[in-house]
């Protein structure tokens, strides 16, 4: 089962299934708190980085430009014309250059310009509301991911304490058994508790890394180095 899991992991990484994958040991110490900082700063950075919010901003600017275009369509226009001119002079022809100004004055368009402007303004209001909604969603995403990561950090610290306690209990039970003052059941129970503590430690570490990746995604970057820098802390290996 473990070899199959390693093979699937290699396949996901674009490698052959038989490619050996050296894995790091479980961290003995608690993870660093490089992500901890002012959550308002993280939200502000997310609003600068998140591509969905940038797209909403661009759509709003496009809609605002549409209003200006609709208004300009109902205004007088002035254009410059220039070019050669040929004249027939009774069997002979001559050419000359001309230049002029053309003024276009729209008199009545059946309120078409007014309706176009109102439609463009309505589209702008819709895009502005959508932009505001995305801004609020970005803040919520960062807040929830931050709180989940905070909880995961506390859990992994608790699991480290539990693992240390289980290791100590297993050593005591084994020592008592070797000394002849304990029984094998105490040793087996202690070893079972130690195995469960190790499992909880592994699960807590997994949830911590997943939570940190979720926060990085909420901010708009999946680079853990940038995540640490965004909190204004030193980059350290957890």
Kindly list the domain boundaries of the chain, sorted by start residue. 32-230
Q: What is the pLDDT along the chain (238 residues), one digit of tens a residue?
A: 577 888 888 888 888 888 887 766 655 545 555 555 678 888 998 999 999 999 999 999 999 998 888 877 766 666 666 666 666 555 555 566 666 666 666 666 666 778 888 898 999 999 999 999 999 999 999 999 999 998 998 998 899 999 999 999 999 999 998 998 889 999 999 999 999 999 999 999 889 888 888 988 899 887 545 445 444 443 333 3
Q: Check: pTM over 0.85? Answer yes or no.
A: no
Q: Can you spell out the DSSP letters for 105-121?
A: -----TTHHHHHHHHHH
In the block, tokens 């300009």 appear at 72
Angle at 195 between CA 189 and CA 199, to 5 degrees: 145
Angle at 158 between CA 152 and CA 160, to 5 degrees: 105
Predicted pLDDT of residue 89: 57
CATH of 32-230, one of 1.10.8.640, 3.30.70.2190, 1.20.1600.10, 3.10.20.80: 1.20.1600.10
Residue closest to 238 by CA, chosen among 199, 212, 217, 218: 212
Cα(first)–Cα(last) distance of the chain, in Å? 28
Provide the 3-class DSSP secondary structure of residue 80.
strand
* Cβ pair 78, 100 in contact under 8 A: no
Q: Which contiguous run of DSSP H or E holds residue 95?
A: strand 93-104
Q: How many helices (DSSP H) and strands (DSSP E) are in the chain?
A: 6, 2
Predicted pLDDT of residue 32: 55
* Cβ pair 212, 218 in contact under 8 A: no
User: What is the DSSP secondary structure assignment for residue 34, as one 8-state letter?
Assistant: T
Residue closest to 197 by CA, chosen among 164, 168, 172: 164
Residue closest to 204 by CA, chosen among 157, 148, 237: 157
d(CA 97, CA 220): 60
* Cβ pair 167, 147 in contact under 8 A: no
* Cβ pair 190, 169 in contact under 8 A: yes
Give CA separation, 37 vs 10, 41, 42, 44, 81, in Å.
35, 8, 8, 12, 63
d(CA 123, CA 143): 30
Predicted pLDDT of residue 141: 94
d(CA 162, CA 168): 10
């Amino acid at each position: 089962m473990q070899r199959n899991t390693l093979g699937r992991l290699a396949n996901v990484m674009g490698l052959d299934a038989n490619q050996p994958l050296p894995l790091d040991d479980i961290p003995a110490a608690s993870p660093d708190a490089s992500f901890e900082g002012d959550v308002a700063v993280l939200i502000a950075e997310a609003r600068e980085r998140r591509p969905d919010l940038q797209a909403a901003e661009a759509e709003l600017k496009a809609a605002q430009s549409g209003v200006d275009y609709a208004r300009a369509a109902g205004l007088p226009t002035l254009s410059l014309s220039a070019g050669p001119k040929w004249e027939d002079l009774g069997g002979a022809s001559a050419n000359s250059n001309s230049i002029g100004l053309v003024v276009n004055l729209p008199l009545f368009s059946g309120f078409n310009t007014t309706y176009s402007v109102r439609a463009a303004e309505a589209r702008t209001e819709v895009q502005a509301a959508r932009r505001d909604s995305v801004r609020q969603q970005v803040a919520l995403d960062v807040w929830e991911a931050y709180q989940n990561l905070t909880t995961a950090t506390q859990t992994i610290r608790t699991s480290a304490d539990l693992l240390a306690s289980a290791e100590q209990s297993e050593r005591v039970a084994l020592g008592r058994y070797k000394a002849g003052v304990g029984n094998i059941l105490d040793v087996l129970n202690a070893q079972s508790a130690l195995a469960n503590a190790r499992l909880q430690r592994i699960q807590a570490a997994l949830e911590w890394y997943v939570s940190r990746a979720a926060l990085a995604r909420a901010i708009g970057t999946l680079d853990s180095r940038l995540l640490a820098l965004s909190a204004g802390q030193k980059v350290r290996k957890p």
